[in-house]
A and B are shown apart, each in its own frame.
Chain A
Amino acid sequence: MPKVFITGLGFITSIGNDKAAVTQSLRELRHGIELYPPFQKPEIPVKVAATLKGFSADSLDPEDWTYPERYTVKRELIRSMSSNVLYAYCAMLQALEDAKLSEADYSNSQTGLYASSGGSPHMLGNMMQRMHTQGVMRCSPMGIVASIAGTLNFNLVAHFKIKGASCGFSSACASSAHGMGFAHDEIALGRQKRMFVVGAEDININSILPFAGMRALSLQSDPNKASRPFDVARDGFVGTGGATVVVLESEDEVARRGVQPYCEVAGWGQASDGYNVAISHPEGLGLRSAIENALRSAKVAPGDIGYINAHGTSTPIGDISEAKALRAVFSPSGARPAVSSTKALTGHGLSLAGAMETGFCALALRDGFVPGSANITNIDPACADLNIPLKTEARQVDVALNNSSGFGGANVSLVLRRA
């Protein structure tokens, strides 16, 4: 099977709007969390979010949106977007430039796009309200394609003239990790030469606050303490949005185009908890199987793994079950890979998380650093035996693992190898 490489990245994230800024934030452990103005009301107990800088896309009319000057989005494109699509559009432009791809390179039947976003509750809610108050025929003709869960793939595939495989993934916080895995397979099986993997989410009241109802959000008002995976005082995740685009290419394409890849996607695995609709398995059984499947697929031993980018969302239950899964896989052989959760910096990007954190791992493998796990003051005793670096370490690892888990107990683990 042909090898699969990551050859391009694009980021619109709370810790940076390009790979240089993201790398710097990861090295210096600078978080992107702040008091989020729309939350500063007495009736809203959640106060912080990991915000995007340079974008304003809360208006229900996309033509009102503002975004960094380096991008221009035509009306005929922006009218069918939700804000997560705008972020992904910008990240896509970065990724194309980063991978040095021309339109002839990517607009062909050998190039596909797998996208993951939760859609736009913000736009959908507006459309429903308009339908009920103004009448059925007064809904925007773009209402559906701008709001439902496929909005990301609909828009990007059309706008970038993608002609190969395309679809969306809907496994909540594991979605874009699934996208990565199946995109890897498309190339490994010889069906496609190149895949774009996109994860994106809105960031607004309607995309984040519904998670407060399930008591999943941190109620911390101090941005420096809100997201602290593996800390004993963690109290839930911090919402974020944005987009990441990862470009995958076959080894033949890498050779033909003469590009220097970030790393290889060596394999992946998935497994499900079969346990609860929203709570992860207390022993982390599904994630454990997913990691084992991933290692087997990549033909690597637990001892080969140098760094694990944990799912680690900073929820009390989730972090413990992940720690148990890691212990079960790695402890028997005495392996002690570095484990960190970059969600301490970025908050939790939901469908975006898998692609974003794969992007972080790719940067770490190429540039030779291990991202630290920020904001830990008192490590949870239940995680204390893991090798969790509190600071980013400047050292080269050869193989990294990226974990993602989603609602319904879906778990995905991706193996990335230094190119």
Chain B
Amino acid sequence: MREALKRCSSATVEAALQFRKTNDPTHVSVVVIGVIERFVEPSLRPKLHSADDDLRMVEDLGIDSLTMMEIVILVEDVLQMQINNEELRHLRTVGDIKTFIDCKARGLPPPKPTRHLPIEHIGSVMPIQPPFLFLNEASINHQGAQGKYKISGQEFFFQGHFKDNPVMPASIMIEAIGQLAVLALLEGVIPVEEGKVVDPKTIFFASSEGVRCHRICKPGDVLVISVKPKRAKMPLATFEGSIRVGQEKAVIAEEITLTFGTKDFVAEPVAPAPTAAPAPAPEQAVVSAPAETPKPAQSPLAS
């Protein structure tokens, strides 16, 4: 095993040996981070030590789908576990991987995988519609939701905001965070009473706290929006939210609170239920080398 981990830190080797000896799952995260670090370009390694579980393997760490498999094979070897491709394809962030491997090591079922929602799905469930919808795509996992919006420059408000100087209004950025929270509510991030679902017609903005803007956003920028539920008690649900552009912090909202109501759950075979999101593409052999620039991959195997 020392041979397998020869390019990893001594702490990683030590944790792996301890895990082998004691089967104590607390060592798992050190091993996983150590293995990931070994495959990340040296210049990007400091990021890993920021202990940010939201770090994305592809976009932030430059790990492509093939490297992801190298990581998995090494983790499998060292921790003596099997990870199948289906499980692998849902792991996008360092946190996803840590949680997943930790559950594996403890013999627990892994958390529900991240679901990716394309624009068609978002449009069909949201009460908010263009030209006031500020989400192009979104994903939902057990921790919350992440969405993206590319500022096209064609948005109606740029005619006046500002004169000869198109700048994304801060209020609209907060609106985008709120919209992602609405989507998260509709996708069941907050548990509601058995037999009930959140009624899209009842969701409204209630309050926000601790909102700070750090960066001016302009046409061409891709807003990466995140929300995490903080607390919920009918009829209020509170989220923390943020927007990043690339590596830069754009907006932080410590709290955004929505009110909502529920309605009886009615099975509608035609309505697009959450599970109607398009199934991941069938397993494909990786037949060509991935592009050097990291790009968001729907699945770790997409090439």
**A residues within 8 Å of B by Cβ?**
63, 74-76, 79-80, 137-138, 140-142, 145, 154-155, 158, 161
28 residue pairs A–B, Cβ–Cβ below 8 Å: A63-B7, A74-B41, A75-B41, A76-B41, A76-B64, A76-B67, A76-B292, A79-B67, A79-B70, A80-B66, A80-B289, A137-B73, A137-B82, A138-B73, A138-B76, A138-B77, A140-B70, A141-B66, A141-B69, A141-B70, A141-B73, A142-B66, A142-B70, A154-B288, A155-B289, A158-B288, A158-B292, A161-B292
Q: From known contacts A138-B76, A138-B77, infer whether A154 and B289 are also in contact, taking CB-CB under 8 Å.
A: yes
Cβ contact of B289, chosen from A137, A140, A158, cutoff 8 A: A158
Contacts of A79 in B (CB 8 A): 67, 70
A141 to B76, CA, bound (A): 14
Contacts of A142 in B (CB 8 A): 66, 70
Closest to A145 in B: B289
A95 to B33, CA, bound (A): 40
**B286 CB within 8 Å of chain A:** yes
Contacts of A161 in B (CB 8 A): 292
Contacts of B76 in A (CB 8 A): 138
Q: Give the distance to chain B from A106, nearest Cβ to Cβ, in Å.
A: 16
Q: Give the distance to chain A from B91, nearest Cβ to Cβ, in Å.
A: 15
Closest to B285 in A: A144
Closest to B289 in A: A158
Closest to A79 in B: B70
A141 to B73, CA, bound (A): 9
Closest to B84 in A: A137
A63 to B41, CA, bound (A): 13
A138 to B4, CA, bound (A): 13
A138 to B67, CA, bound (A): 13
A138 to B74, CA, bound (A): 9
Contacts of A76 in B (CB 8 A): 41, 62, 64, 67, 292
A140 to B70, CA, bound (A): 7
Contacts of B289 in A (CB 8 A): 80, 145, 154-155, 158
Contacts of B41 in A (CB 8 A): 74-76
Shortest Cβ-Cβ A-B pairs, 9 listed: A141-B69, A158-B289, A141-B66, A138-B73, A141-B70, A154-B289, A142-B66, A145-B289, A80-B289
Contacts of A75 in B (CB 8 A): 39, 41
Q: Give the distance to chain B from A409, nearest Cβ to Cβ, in Å.
A: 33
Closest to B83 in A: A137
Contacts of B62 in A (CB 8 A): 76
Closest to A155 in B: B289
Q: Give the distance to chain B from A79, nearest Cβ to Cβ, in Å.
A: 7
Closest to A77 in B: B292
Closest to B82 in A: A137
A141 and B77 contact, CB distance less than 8 A:
no
B286 and A141 contact, CB distance less than 8 A:
yes
A161 to B291, CA, bound (A): 9
Contacts of B292 in A (CB 8 A): 76, 158, 161
B71-113 contacts to A, CB under 8 A, are 73, 76-77, 82
Contacts of A74 in B (CB 8 A): 41
A138 to B292, CA, bound (A): 24
A141 to B67, CA, bound (A): 8
Contacts of B286 in A (CB 8 A): 141
User: Other CB < 8 Å A-B pairs besides A76-B64, A158-B288, 8 of them?
Assistant: A63-B7, A76-B62, A76-B292, A80-B289, A138-B73, A138-B77, A141-B66, A141-B69
B7 and A140 contact, CB distance less than 8 A:
no
Contacts of A155 in B (CB 8 A): 289
Contacts of A145 in B (CB 8 A): 289
Q: Give the distance to chain A from B89, nearest Cβ to Cβ, in Å.
A: 14
Q: Give the distance to chain A from B36, nearest Cβ to Cβ, in Å.
A: 14
Contacts of B73 in A (CB 8 A): 137-138, 140-141
B41-76 contacts to A, CB under 8 A, are 41, 62, 64, 66-67, 69-70, 73, 76
Q: Give the distance to chain B from A138, nearest Cβ to Cβ, in Å.
A: 6
Q: Mark B134-160, 1 if CB is under 8 A from A, else 0.
A: 000000000000000000000000000
Closest to B62 in A: A76
Q: Give the distance to chain B from A88, nearest Cβ to Cβ, in Å.
A: 15
Q: Give the distance to chain B from A383, nearest Cβ to Cβ, in Å.
A: 47
Q: Mark B264-302, 1 if CB is under 8 A from A, else 0.
A: 000000000000000000000010110010000000000
A158 to B39, CA, bound (A): 20
Contacts of B67 in A (CB 8 A): 76, 79
Contacts of A138 in B (CB 8 A): 73, 76-77
A144 to B76, CA, bound (A): 20
A138 to B7, CA, bound (A): 18
Closest to A80 in B: B289
A253 to B240, CA, bound (A): 59
Interface core residue of A155, A158, A161 (most chain B CB under 10 Å) = A158
Q: Give the distance to chain A from B95, nearest Cβ to Cβ, in Å.
A: 23
Contacts of B39 in A (CB 8 A): 75
Q: Give the distance to chain B from A107, nearest Cβ to Cβ, in Å.
A: 12
A137 to B70, CA, bound (A): 11
A76 to B44, CA, bound (A): 13
A197 to B73, CA, bound (A): 36
Contacts of B66 in A (CB 8 A): 80, 141-142
Closest to A75 in B: B41
A138 to B77, CA, bound (A): 8
Interface core residue of A63, A79, A140, A141 (most chain B CB under 10 Å) = A141
Q: Give the distance to chain B from A137, nearest Cβ to Cβ, in Å.
A: 8
A127 to B76, CA, bound (A): 18
A273 to B82, CA, bound (A): 53
Q: Give the distance to chain B from A78, nearest Cβ to Cβ, in Å.
A: 12
A351 to B64, CA, bound (A): 32
Contacts of B64 in A (CB 8 A): 76
A141 to B285, CA, bound (A): 10
Q: Give the distance to chain A from B295, nearest Cβ to Cβ, in Å.
A: 14
A295 to B129, CA, bound (A): 72
Contacts of B70 in A (CB 8 A): 79, 140-142
Contacts of A140 in B (CB 8 A): 70, 73
Q: Give the distance to chain A from B57, nearest Cβ to Cβ, in Å.
A: 14
Interface core residue of A76, A80, A161 (most chain B CB under 10 Å) = A76
A74 to B77, CA, bound (A): 24
Closest to B69 in A: A141
